[in-house]
Copies of this chain bind each other. A is one copy, B any other.
Amino acid sequence: MRKLPPLGSLRAFEAAARRLSFREAAAELGVTPTAISHQVRILEEICGRPLFRRRPRPLALTDAGERLFPVIRNGFDTFASVVTAVSAKTIRTTLRVTSPNAFASRWLVPRLPRWRKLYPQIRLEIIGTDAVLNLRAGDADLAIRYARTMPTDLVAREIFRDSFFPVCSPALLGEGVPAITRAADLLHYPLIHYDWLNGDREPPSWSRWLAVARSVDPDIPAATEHWDLSFREEIHAIDAVAAGQGIAICSDVVVSHEIESGALVKAHDLALPGYGFYVVHVPDHPRQASIEAFAAWMRSVA
């Protein structure tokens, strides 16, 4: 039989661990710090080891506390969101989908008419943001995560993977400008750079692409760290590329619509390996069927 720990002590522990302060946790729960102290001690006695390292200050979690904390926090997030959902007067009908900004505006939104045609009864709400929403807290029903490997914190399925190519407007390659026959020729054009904030140690940037290209075309000078245009946001970089301002290393998935329509062209065929697009949701989501329809649809329109 399952041996459930005292739930009050879990709640006190979670608040204290989240704020790393008994005083603040007490304020949050509307009790005195003493109450937190007592409850945490109870849990520590059950676990047979300290969960907080109290000094030297500041307050910190022990290894045991570190293992406990994410699980308890997720559990409470889940409890809160499911009770809120069940309490809601109206049953939500739209499926809330969140994805990185560039993917939402360049891939998802242009294809939404096709979705509406196939599934008019399932309305979508697209939340394009590069922040990671908390699905367990009910911020969205489904997230499209963009990562090298499968996320393991939620239920995930890989839809497709992308590759990165130098991409530009066909207008940029008009008459009177040098043709691109080999990688080194790209350097005659303005190179458009944008930031990768995902913590990847080897993001698919110009410096990486040129390094790979150098291995087949030694004429490319090493350490070309000068970018003609630099953006914070991938989405703005793509806008600049579409406007014919230069060449950028872009995901073939994100610009697939523009490639197909001829609005953008690949400037060179050398590709960098990219990331996976994962449809992610909480376990046992109540609208499983809609989520599976969406994942299957994404694969089908890839």
Which residues in A have some Cβ–Cβ distance to B below 8 Å? 1-5, 7-8, 10-11, 28, 46-49, 64, 67-68, 70-72, 74-80, 82-87, 89, 137, 150, 152-157, 281, 283-286, 288, 292
Main secondary structure on A side of the interface with B:
helix
A2 contacts B80, CB within 8 Å?
yes
**Which B residues touch A78, using CB under 8 A?**
71, 74-75
The interface residues of chain B lying within 8 Å CB-to-CB of A156 are: 155
A-B contact pairs, 30 of them (CB 8 A): A1-B28, A2-B77, A2-B137, A3-B80, A4-B11, A4-B79, A4-B80, A7-B10, A47-B86, A48-B87, A49-B87, A67-B86, A67-B286, A68-B82, A68-B83, A68-B86, A70-B284, A71-B78, A71-B79, A71-B284, A74-B284, A75-B78, A75-B79, A152-B281, A152-B283, A153-B283, A154-B283, A155-B155, A155-B156, A155-B283
Cα of A87 to Cα of B80 in the assembled complex, Å: 26
Which 7 pairs, one residue from A and one from B, show the smallest C-beta to C-beta distance? A7-B7, A75-B75, A71-B82, A2-B80, A5-B83, A47-B87, A64-B86
CA distance A153 to B285 in the complex (A): 8
Beyond A2-B76, A7-B8, A79-B72, whether A152 also contacts B152 by CB under 8 A is: no
Distance in angstroms from A85 CB to nearest chain B CB is: 7
Q: Please, which residues of chain B bring their CB within 8 A of the CB of A11?
A: 4, 7
Q: How far is the CB of A260 from chain B (nearest CB, A)?
A: 30
Cβ contact within 8 Å between A150 and B154: no
Contacts of A47 in B (CB 8 A): 83, 86-87
Q: Is the CB of B82 within 8 A of A72?
A: yes
In the complex, which residues of chain B have a beta carbon less than 8 angstroms from the beta carbon of A64? 86
For residue A8, which residue of chain B has the nearest CB? B7
> Chain B nearest CB: distance from A36 CB in Å?
15
Q: Which of B77, B137, B157 contacts A150 (CB 8 A)?
A: B157
Alpha-carbon gap, A286 to B150, bound state (A): 16
Beyond A47-B86, A82-B71, A86-B47, is A4–B283 a contact (Cβ under 8 Å)?
Answer: no
- A301, B74: Cα distance in complex, Å: 35
Q: How far is the CB of A122 from chain B (nearest CB, A)?
A: 17
Cross-chain contact A155 with B157 (CB below 8 angstroms): no
Of A64, A79, A288, chain B has the most CB atoms within 10 Å of the CB of A79
Nearest residue (CB) in B for A134 is B2
Quick check: A85 and B72 within 8 Å, CB to CB?
no
The answer to whether residues A84 and B3 also contact, given A79-B71, A284-B70 and a CB cut-off of 8 A, is yes
**A158, B11: Cα distance in complex, Å:** 36
